[in-house]
Amino acid sequence: MPSNRSAAACRREPRRLDRNIGAWMAIYISMYIWLWLAAIVALVSDQSERPKYGTVAWEGDSREVLQSFPEDVRQNLGFQLWQLQQGEKPSDYRPLPSIGTGVFELRDQDERAWYRVVYLSRINDVIHVLHCFEKKSREMPRRDFEKAKQRLKAVRARLAQEKKHEKRG
């Protein structure tokens, strides 16, 4: 069946197709660039929203006491401290309002005893480990309670002093 189109019209059709491909390529490239820019912006904003990696400040002999705990207990409590440093909630903790506001304990146990790490929650990206101890009964021994309270008082006084010096300088 003969076509109504001339030979010249047939020769022009590939050019139109070339122009269409060029337009589609330009659209594709611009979309590709925009997607990359959006991904970079999302990555940068996600990194800025992550909590800073906290540091641990050991009060008194708390680090040495923790190092004397059995290996499994040390690993569990160490992991929970690491979770705190990452800004996450540890797996086994509870507040200790009787010692002070913002004070918590990490807990672990084995067949021999219960182990505790008493800490002051994160202040200026620092987790203050006030006291570590081992106990055999359900109640917190009075001397451990008093030691944690005493160290909390010292930390708060030190933080207040630092804040006072910041205002002057």
Strands of the sheet with 126-135, listed across from one edge: 55-58, 126-135, 114-123, 103-109, 93-95
Handedness of CA 72, 75, 80, 81 (dihedral sign): positive
Instruction: Write down the CATH number for the domain with range 55-168.
Output: 3.30.2310.20
**Per-residue model confidence as pLDDT tens digits over 23-35:** 666 676 766 676 6
Res 88: pLDDT:
93
Per-residue pLDDT tens digits for 11-26: 555 555 555 666 666 6
Beta strands, E only, the chain: 55-58, 93-95, 103-109, 114-123, 126-135
Token pair, residue 21, equals 């491909």
User: Which has more pLDDT, 65 or 47?
Assistant: 65
The structure tokens 């940068």 sit at 44
With bands split at pLDDT 50, 70 and 90, how would you rate the model's confidence at 166?
confident
Question: Domains of the chain: which residue ranges?
Answer: 1-50, 55-168
Give the model's pLDDT for residue 63. Answer: 97
